[in-house]
Amino acid sequence: MAHDQQQSKWKGKASAELAGPKAEQVWPLLEDFFGLNKWFPTLTTCLGVEGINGQPGCVRYCAGFKTPVNGGDKIVNWTKQKLLSIDPTELSFSYSIIDGNVGFNSYISTVKVVPGEDGCNIHWWYEVEAVEGWKLEDLDAFIGSGLQVMVMAKRMEEALHASSNQKPSLVYPS
């Protein structure tokens, strides 16, 4: 986990490598801004609440994840996230958290799919004001393992592999 600690802003990056699937196969899964719960291991809810999915300005409501500061608490964390930009040519998008109960202020994240030699990589950059009650390591853990970019990537890899191995079903007229 790479990170840079400034006095008022924390910055970092998480990455995951997918062996096999090409960037063009993974991108449609990520560009579905309202469908993050399909891939994100601890997210139980992801609903579009404003705008058109995949268009800048749309807003999603995400809930169900836990942060490192929750400990044993039964708090359901939630955020509203606004899509700032999306570039299907560069296979990237940026979003910000505009509301929530996790204490993130000025959170902006950029997700990019990068072609690799034998598959692709997902890179997830973030920047946020220092979070009260947290250490930078907490945020790194949340982005890297809390968000579980690796698990998310693995789920995508498995779904793409399964869909490419399925044989078309033949329907014969009766």
Q: For the chain, what are the domain ranges?
A: 7-162
Please name every residue paired with 80 in a beta bridge, in sequence order, or none if there are none: 61, 99
Average model confidence (pLDDT) for the chain? 81
Which has the higher per-residue pLDDT, 143 or 146? 143
Which has the higher per-residue pLDDT, 46 or 71? 46
Report the distance separating Cα 37 and Cα 45, nearest Å. Answer: 6
Read off the pLDDT band of 55 (50, 70, 90). Answer: very high
pLDDT in tens, 7-26: 578 988 888 888 889 999 99
Please name every residue paired with 45 in a beta bridge, in sequence order, or none if there are none: 63
Nearest residue to 123 via CA among 16, 40, 38: 16
115-137 burial, b for 16+ CB within 10 Å, e for fewer? eeeebbbbebbbbbeebeebebe
- CATH architecture entry for 7-162: 2-Layer Sandwich (3.30)
Read off the pLDDT band of 49 (50, 70, 90). Answer: very high
Which has the higher per-residue pLDDT, 149 or 105? 105
Token pair for residue 131? Answer: 């979070």
pLDDT (mean) for 97-105: 89
Whole-number CA gyration radius for the chain: 17
pLDDT (mean) for 103-129: 91
pLDDT in tens, 77-92: 899 999 999 999 999 9
Read off the pLDDT band of 146 (50, 70, 90). Answer: very low
